[in-house]
Structure 1
Amino acid sequence: MAFDQLTSSAFLLYDEWIKEADPRVEDWPLMTSPFPQTVVILAYIYFVTTLGPRLMENRKPFDLKRPMIIYNISIVIFSLYLIYEFLLSGWANGYSYRCDLVDYSSSPQALRMARTCWLYYFSKFIELLDTIFFVLRKKNSQVSFLHVFHHSIMPFTWWFGVKFAPGGLGTFHALLNCCVHVIMYSYYALSAMGPAFQKYLWWKKHMTTIQLVQFVMVTGHIGQFFFMKDCQYQCPVFLYVIGSYGMIFLVLFLNFYYHAYTKGKRLPKVLQNGACHQNGVHKKVE
């Protein structure tokens, strides 16, 4: 009986809370309720941590070179498009980079921002393929807690962002994230093209640094809100979530950076073991 009452109270609270949602996005795909995306995310976690490795245990790794090249280049193009849309719908078209409120009107610019937020949210599901590729290629060591947590939490939290606050200062981190993804997925595309392109991948360590700078900028931008006396941002709870997200991932990526590079565990082999030259050509020692 107590459990039934608790469940009933939870649904009543949810019904009251959902009334505050943005009516413009109500009928958009995946926006009716958070439950469909929750099922997808839980299925993703189960597959990449349990089912996938089990199915691949006695199989040869899949050769996914061509699909991965196409996938990574597609993400770069899509990220560039999202940057363009975020800029024209606010960040280069009226936003102050300080107290930017959500525009809930039906103006073309406001609707454009809302659609861009939804596209960014949907892109987080496409990016789940990152981990699935790891599993199918039997690169299970790369399916780390940091990786799975990052890919799981982003679509989950962004559902609420699109549902309640598709715009305003809470979207700055999405713009930054798209910029980082252009760099990151360009690296992945070059990496997938094979040994002939390895010479263009010297900047891997700097890619991690760029990610760290991203989280510092996100935390700094959101931090402004707590020092502004008259900012009437409509959904301040999301700013706490984004600020916490920025700080948590800053700590996690700093930990990764320390173990991967400061301690030398993931330095390129050419730096770990030295290099030799054959016929004047720089060659990594494998």
Structure 2
Amino acid sequence: MPSLMSVVIENYNELVESKTDPIMDSWLFMKSPVPVISILVAYLYFVLKLGPQLMANRPAFNLKGVIIAYNAYQVLFSLWLCGQVFYFKSVIFQLFGQSCRGESTNGEVNTFMASCVWWYFISKIVELLDTVFFVLRKKQSQVTFLHVYHHGIMMLFTWIYLKFLSDEQGLFIGFLNSFVHVIMYSYYLIAALGPQYQKYLWWKKYMTWIQLTQFCIMLVYLFSIPMMGCKLSKSVTFFFAGNVAIFLYLFADFYRKAYTKKSKNASSIPNGCVKASKLE
């Protein structure tokens, strides 16, 4: 009787062989899941254990210049990713036209869209540095479950989607997320410039609102696909919808804890104490 491990390996090999694409397999990290899983394991080990241990008796690194350059890069790269959607005039049309009706699409456009998703996947790897910077700056309190889960699962899920489930649905999701990242990393860039720019960050509270709105728009889009009778893969729709729903819950819970509870606590403190706490 075959062992469970041998059955899993056999089924995986059959799945990989059925999804073999010479062009995609030639792209970095795409031929095998080993590199992306190794990156994920190394990331989790460093930010949750090794990093905090190494920094326990060391002063925090001053990474101001690095972080400014990193955030500027993220803004520009996210803008570039957003722009790729409009590179082919037919890409947007395919999302709500040809693809929705189940009509065949141009092979050149399909390859281009897959390459866009690959660049998006690479951006998810680069974004793991967000957490690494927290650790090196000894801001371990910001290495929350939401933060680590969000970065880790986005990288892994994007690889899985590109390798096994790729279709046009991910293009709109990636475009919307990249657009939000333009706003988000612009905020981080301004914040990294120094205290003299704090007056331009009055919209901090709305950052989470922007992310929540993003997830709501994604869910509306995903639920509209079967409602409109689109002949796109329902498994991909459910794949995205499930992940987006989890993010929506986690970010809403974060917002509730970070802002709703603070507002209640502030209302129970004398006015003088509130003003003093804002100055600290």
Is TM more than 0.5 here? Answer: yes
Cα distance change on mapping 1:42 and 1:223 into 2, 3 Å = same
The CA deviation at 1:106 is 3.2
In structure 1, C-alpha distance between the alignment counterparts of 2:123 and 2:102, rounded to whole Å: 24
Gaps of 5+ in 1: 277-283
**Is the 2:94–2:100 contact (alpha carbons within 8 Å) kept by the matching residues of 1?**
no
**Is the 1:190–1:197 contact (alpha carbons within 8 Å) kept by the matching residues of 2?**
yes
In structure 2, C-alpha distance between the alignment counterparts of 1:42 and 1:127, rounded to whole Å: 15
| Large movers: runs of 4+ above 4 Å | 100-105
Partner AA of 1:7 in structure 2: M
Q: How does 1:1-286 map to 2 (within 5 A)?
A: 5-21=3-19, 23=21, 24-89=23-88, 91-96=91-96, 99=100, 106-107=107-108, 109-229=109-229, 231-233=230-232, 235-264=233-262, 273-274=274-275, 285-286=279-280
Partner AA of 2:234 in structure 1: P
Partner AA of 1:273 in structure 2: V
The CA deviation at 1:102 is 9.6
The CA deviation at 1:246 is 1.1
The CA deviation at 1:80 is 0.2
**Is the 2:113–2:171 contact (alpha carbons within 8 Å) kept by the matching residues of 1?**
no
**Is the 2:226–2:234 contact (alpha carbons within 8 Å) kept by the matching residues of 1?**
no
The CA deviation at 1:52 is 0.3
The CA deviation at 1:101 is 6.0
The CA deviation at 1:175 is 0.8
Partner AA of 1:259 in structure 2: K
The CA deviation at 1:165 is 4.0
The CA deviation at 1:239 is 1.7
The CA deviation at 1:152 is 0.4
Cα distance change on mapping 1:104 and 1:28 into 2, 3 Å = farther
Work out the number of aligned pairs and report it.
271
In structure 2, C-alpha distance between the alignment counterparts of 1:84 and 1:101, rounded to whole Å: 25
Matched-pair identity in %:
41
Cα distance change on mapping 1:58 and 1:102 into 2, 3 Å = farther
**Is the 1:102–1:166 contact (alpha carbons within 8 Å) kept by the matching residues of 2?**
no
Cα distance change on mapping 1:103 and 1:88 into 2, 3 Å = farther
Cα distance change on mapping 1:121 and 1:88 into 2, 3 Å = same
Partner AA of 1:195 in structure 2: P
Cα distance change on mapping 1:243 and 1:137 into 2, 3 Å = same
Please say which of residues 88-97 and 29-38 is displaced more in the overlay.
88-97
**Is the 1:176–1:214 contact (alpha carbons within 8 Å) kept by the matching residues of 2?**
yes
In structure 2, C-alpha distance between the alignment counterparts of 1:260 and 1:39, rounded to whole Å: 33
Query: Normalising by structure 1, what TM-score?
Result: 0.87
In structure 2, C-alpha distance between the alignment counterparts of 1:248 and 1:69, rounded to whole Å: 31
Aligned to 1:281: none
In structure 1, C-alpha distance between the alignment counterparts of 2:273 and 2:157, rounded to whole Å: 39
In structure 2, C-alpha distance between the alignment counterparts of 1:203 and 1:127, rounded to whole Å: 22
In structure 2, C-alpha distance between the alignment counterparts of 1:178 and 1:263, rounded to whole Å: 30
In structure 1, C-alpha distance between the alignment counterparts of 2:69 and 2:14, rounded to whole Å: 44
Cα distance change on mapping 1:174 and 1:22 into 2, 3 Å = farther
RMSD (Å), alpha carbons: 2.5
The CA deviation at 1:275 is 7.3
Partner of 2:27, secondary structure, is coil
**Residues 11-64 of structure 1, C-alpha deviation per residue, up to 9 Å, x if partnerless?**
111122123326131221101111210011011011001110010000000000
**Is the 1:124–1:155 contact (alpha carbons within 8 Å) kept by the matching residues of 2?**
yes
In structure 2, C-alpha distance between the alignment counterparts of 1:119 and 1:131, rounded to whole Å: 20
In structure 2, C-alpha distance between the alignment counterparts of 1:103 and 1:86, rounded to whole Å: 19
Partner AA of 1:146 in structure 2: L
Partner AA of 1:157 in structure 2: F
Gaps of 5+ in 2: 267-271
Partner of 1:29, secondary structure, is coil
Partner AA of 2:70 in structure 1: Y
Partner of 1:95, secondary structure, is helix
